[in-house]
Amino acid sequence: MAGGAGGACQAGGVTRTDDPRGFLRVAPAVAALAWGGNHFIPLMLMYRSIDGYDQVQVDLFLAVYVIGLVPGFLLAGTWSDRWGRRRIMLAGLPIGIAGSVILALGSSTIAGMCAGRFLSGVSVAVAMVVGSSWIKELSEASGQGQAGARRASITLSLGFGGGAGVAGVLAQWGPWPTILPYAVQIAATLVGLVVVLGAAETRQPDPSITAIIGDVRIRPAIRGVFLRRVLPIAPWIFGASALAFAVGPSLVTARTGHLDVAFATLATVITLGVGTSVQLAFAAIDRALHGRSGTVGVALAGIGAVILVAAALDSSIAAVLVAAPIFGAGYGLCMVAGLSAVQAMADGNDLAGLTAIFYSVSYAGFFLPMILAALAPVVGYLAAFVGVAVLCGVCAWVPLRRVSRAA
């Protein structure tokens, strides 16, 4: 039997524990891996100035991260069902460390940056799929199932936002800006590795699971609903985030000067801080919006894009700071609305598969900065941002039209 703190006992293939704080043995590892995925964000401007990368190359590094996430989403859940949560998490932590080591030592080459970002994506997928499930199961096993999803969400948000904040401060004012942020994250991951060794296993190995990839499909019965309610919303979760802390700060570097990394960090923390607050208050917000939170979230992303026009035309710092919380609110609303829709339409056999598809589509939004950087020299940022706003309007209209018909 898998060991762990809190007097674990096995019941029907699932290890139960009477430790109400058992999830805290998993949370540091999950937060550290999330930190490893997001601490690159405020450093992007630094790589442009130190290593001479252009905007398209920097945005490529952001996109490669998404490419690493997808196989992680597709594989991590099924493998943790087959071999247990602990084994897959213990595999994800060294992958995250390896990604940070490569980024710290190989930042001067495109190949090194792409390799490091790919591994970071894989490790974050493990944290999101396996870590979140483990935290939820530990909460349920100790009779606190209602708190499981909230604990997992907060843990990931602390890693994403806190990691970006720490990395940005270290890069702006600390020594060795291309190395120290990664070294600190590696140390935090090693602490998480030690702590998670004491966590109770909640999923015993199941030899009956032989598939390499789980049930990743959309059943015909729910395909139409998924395409109308989830697909238009999902890309704007991280599309809004990327506009806020990847595109916005890059438009005002002429004014932020040597504080460019600090400003990018500020934009990131504001965006993710507002997004986290919105997620925590989602139930009340969704009631006030009569179930149209996803539509409002996408619309907010479009409004933020329009505001960034001022930053593109006049290098307006104020425009970036005004847009950041709007993007953050859009990110938070779209995230919870999309996940809620997925959970509502899934049955016991396809929840993991639908969730993997949802996360994969949502992270496609990280390609938006690279697309804009490639289009801007051709059509200009004004046309590009207006195009984003129009696309947001279309995506907001599709689920709203469905809700109106249902009413």
Any idea what the Cα angle at residue 149 is, between residues 146 and 152, rounded to 5°?
135
Residue 20 exposure: Cα atoms within 13 Å on the Cβ side: 4
Residue-level pLDDT at 110:
93
CATH code reported for the domain at 219-407: 1.20.1250.20
Residue-level pLDDT at 43:
85
- Sorted by where each begins, the domain ranges of the chain are 16-206, 219-407
* Three-class HEC string of 25-71: HCHHHHHHHHHHHHCCHHHHHHHHHHCCCCHHHHHHHHHHHHHHHHH
DSSP reduced 3-state for 276: helix
Residue-level pLDDT at 161:
83
For 4: left if phi > 0, alpha if psi spans -120 to 50, otherwise beta; the answer is left
Cα separation, 333 vs 285, whole angstroms: 9
Q: What is the pTM of this model?
A: 0.79
Residue-level pLDDT at 359:
80
Residue-level pLDDT at 13:
44
Residue-level pLDDT at 1:
32
Q: Return the CATH number of 16-206, one of 1.10.10.10, 3.40.50.2000, 1.10.3720.10, 1.20.1250.20.
A: 1.20.1250.20
Residue-level pLDDT at 6:
43
Give mean pLDDT in consecutive 10-residue pieces for the chain, a chain of 407 residues: 41 51 89 91 82 82 86 82 88 96 93 95 91 82 67 82 88 91 96 94 79 68 84 93 90 89 90 89 89 93 95 92 96 86 70 73 86 87 92 89 49
Domain 16-206 and domain 219-407, same fold? Reply is: yes
Residue 220 exposure: Cα atoms within 13 Å on the Cβ side: 0
Residue-level pLDDT at 202:
85
Residue-level pLDDT at 133:
80
Residue-level pLDDT at 384:
92
DSSP reduced 3-state for 15: strand
